[in-house]
Structure 1
């Protein structure tokens, strides 16, 4: 609604303004606000502002739970029952055509207009009036001090924030997102540090680069050997680290006939310090991977069982959360991570990509080139099912995910051998039967645990009773 229309409505109708405070709902009657706007002292002087804006009614919230419930409804643009009763009780609804209600939130205004049939205004001078009401609110509501108002606002904001992030708090998928991002960053850093160490240490022992190709193993060997003349003395430790005596013999033999130059102690000391830092990163990377594996097994066991920890974690990270991934269709999961290629293909009218992040799954790598597209479609379908089961099941377990993995394996063998696998219905029946058996075993285990606790308590009570009788005797 334009500003001129708002002024026309304000001049022909009785204008009320709804203000949603942390402590309750307030309704104000506005009269002569145009004259107040011309007075520069009105913004700072509550008495001048109160001459044009008068408190019509105030309804405090009954409890903190009631406050957060109303705040959620306001943020989602829904008319709460408390708000409906408040407006019906304090507005002259029998003369709706002569009443205008100012609401700052456009969504809430539309909901009130639809539910109560009121003429709602969200533009014009309404935001300015609401701003000044917020500034002088303690002047209108007697007994409400600045300190109590601040406490109410702070408590409601904390509760509202916790309510909004409840999925991250309960599912803890944010931990997975941060872990997999840190894991990728560590891989980049370890590779870069390994390249620096290779270039630096190759002046002294260039043959080691050809013998050991793995970056992480190379860093650990540099930290262990240091001067190449020490390789024969630490041969046992090299074998323990590498796990192959042939490689140890190659390293020892190469150190004796090396073409590298001699290195000064100060240079060797700097290389050693740098390799120690890189080794710490390598060790932390393995610890972080174990942590990510445990987290994925707890939060998304079916997705983890289907595509592995890293691919599953990257899918969750790219989607933003597990619930976002569960809401995606299979076609979106298929190209998740290949958005740039998709938009480029649409723009240039070329072939769209067949896969995104799920390309790193072993199923796509094992499929023939002509079957990769079919395999990615089938795998993304099963990933969507696994993500939804993990997200919305009360007690996640990997029974369904294991069965989905068998289905994907059978489909892969069908592409290679032509042997027709079981139907999805047969697989799901087997999965549901296994799930029932798993739940029954869990129930029996819980019963045994309770029985053991009961017996332990009874035994402790008998021992205490016997000790008491001995003391009396």
Structure 2
């Protein structure tokens, strides 16, 4: 049996048992050309030289999953194939790797990578908005504390930024109440209005970022978007570090994305680990009784993983079918587990029952 092995300096066909090289195609001695071929390999492509080497051979083995279309991937130790044996020195390797780095960094950024950054930007905006909002309520509350009962979030910031003094705001809202707040100097009120104006613009920025994220996720992840909705699908991709990585994860990891801290805390303490991460935000999970949530989360994670794979490899839209399959599975879980599990009864006296040795019914005595 022969095996195809590709190193940075060439591709080789070897006898798998003896390790004897039967044929080879070396990289060009031009560093830029070699770098371009390596870049193609890193993007998952197949080299023309690799196809030439396996042409006419009946499904050889290959040493890299990237070459799966040419043969069956197998582990193979090719460390004995040295670059120096074929006229490639360290200086040339350095030039090739520098060229490869320049090529990869100048490639167009996939849209799902932009999605990861956009979600993190949105989180930063939300954190900043919360800080500014807390400061504005505390500061302006000294002048008009009752406003918090009539306006919230963006509306609160907008009213303070536009009108400032409480009498104008009361007139705008059409309310007639007596405030217990203190009067402020014009200079102090102006400083508060500047803060409110900044907060108001931050709310606008947040809306634009959310619309941008929704557009990306609908374009790049239509199947995930159909299953989870835009915001949750975007956060799943962000937590995984990109759509490609998400599509390569096992479903158990997809199920726990966002719950890493709780999982490691449970591992250290020996307690039971979490059953779901951010996927809990899906209505089928957070509306279900607690004893059904883990099973539903497992079913949803499996469907989400299928959707991610379809989106990553640009398959046909299957979101409706996956949603229907999930609906059937959720119905089965609800029918099969309608009642909460019974808690184990404690033995009389409150002491735990001996599970082994002489105290165990039918158990054998310890040997000394």
The TM tier, using the shorter chain, reads: 0.5 to 0.7
Give the secondary structure class of the aligned counterpart of 1:253.
coil
Aligned to 1:113: 80
Q: Aligned equivalents of 2:105 and 2:41: distance in 1?
A: 14
Q: Aligned equivalents of 2:42 and 2:297: distance in 1?
A: 43
1:402 aligns with 2:298: no
Deviations 1:401-445 (A, max 9, x none): 1332344344445555679xxxxxxxxxxxxxxxxxxxxxxxxxx
Deviations 1:15-66 (A, max 9, x none): xxxxx89xx9xxxxxxxxxxxxxxxxxxxxxxxxxxxxxxxxx995479556
Aligned to 1:332: 253
* Aligned-residue offset at 1:121: 9.6
Aligned to 1:218: 156
User: Are the aligned partners of 1:386 and 1:401 in contact in 2 as well (CA < 8 Å)?
Assistant: yes
Equivalent positions of 1:202-217 (< 5 A) are 202-212=141-151, 214-217=152-155
Q: Aligned equivalents of 1:332 and 1:159: distance in 2?
A: 32
Aligned to 1:41: none
Aligned to 2:37: 69
Aligned length: 291
Match of 2:192 among 245, 249, 271: 271
Equivalent positions of 1:23-34 (< 5 A) are none
User: Are the aligned partners of 2:221 and 2:308 in contact in 1 as well (CA < 8 Å)?
Assistant: yes
1:158 aligns with 2:102: yes
User: Are the aligned partners of 1:334 and 1:354 in contact in 2 as well (CA < 8 Å)?
Assistant: yes
* Aligned-residue offset at 1:160: 4.7
Aligned to 2:115: 176
* Aligned-residue offset at 1:234: 2.5
* Aligned-residue offset at 1:258: 0.9
> TM-score, length-normalised on structure 2?
0.67
RMSD of aligned Cα (Å): 4.1
* Aligned-residue offset at 1:161: 4.3
Q: Aligned equivalents of 2:126 and 2:297: distance in 1?
A: 26
Match of 1:364 among 285, 289, 293: 285
Give the secondary structure class of the aligned counterpart of 2:294.
helix
Specify whether residues 259 and 160 from structure 1 end up closer, same or farther in structure 2 by C-alpha distance, changes over 3 A only.
closer
Specify whether residues 233 and 59 from structure 1 end up closer, same or farther in structure 2 by C-alpha distance, changes over 3 A only.
closer
Structure 1 unmatched runs, 5+: 1-19, 25-57, 86-109, 115-119, 138-148, 236-248, 420-473
* Aligned-residue offset at 1:277: 0.6
Q: Aligned equivalents of 1:73 and 1:268: distance in 2?
A: 62
Match of 1:253 among 146, 171, 176: 176
**Structure 1 residues 410-419 or 378-387, which shifts more?**
410-419
Match of 1:303 among 211, 217, 224: 224
User: Are the aligned partners of 1:306 and 1:383 in contact in 2 as well (CA < 8 Å)?
Assistant: yes
Instruction: State which structure, 1 or 2, has the greater radius of gyration over its C-alpha atoms.
Output: 1
Deviations 1:113-156 (A, max 9, x none): 26xxxxx599xxx9xx966x57xx9xxxxxxxxxxx98x88755
Q: Aligned equivalents of 2:268 and 2:27: distance in 1?
A: 56
Structure 2 unmatched runs, 5+: 1-7, 11-25, 54-76, 338-368
1:353 aligns with 2:274: yes
* Aligned-residue offset at 1:211: 3.2
Give the secondary structure class of the aligned counterpart of 1:111.
coil
* Aligned-residue offset at 1:265: 0.6
Q: Aligned equivalents of 1:179 and 1:280: distance in 2?
A: 18
Specify whether residues 160 and 224 from structure 1 end up closer, same or farther in structure 2 by C-alpha distance, changes over 3 A only.
closer
Specify whether residues 191 and 409 from structure 1 end up closer, same or farther in structure 2 by C-alpha distance, changes over 3 A only.
farther
Give the secondary structure class of the aligned counterpart of 1:259.
coil
Q: Aligned equivalents of 1:281 and 1:185: distance in 2?
A: 11
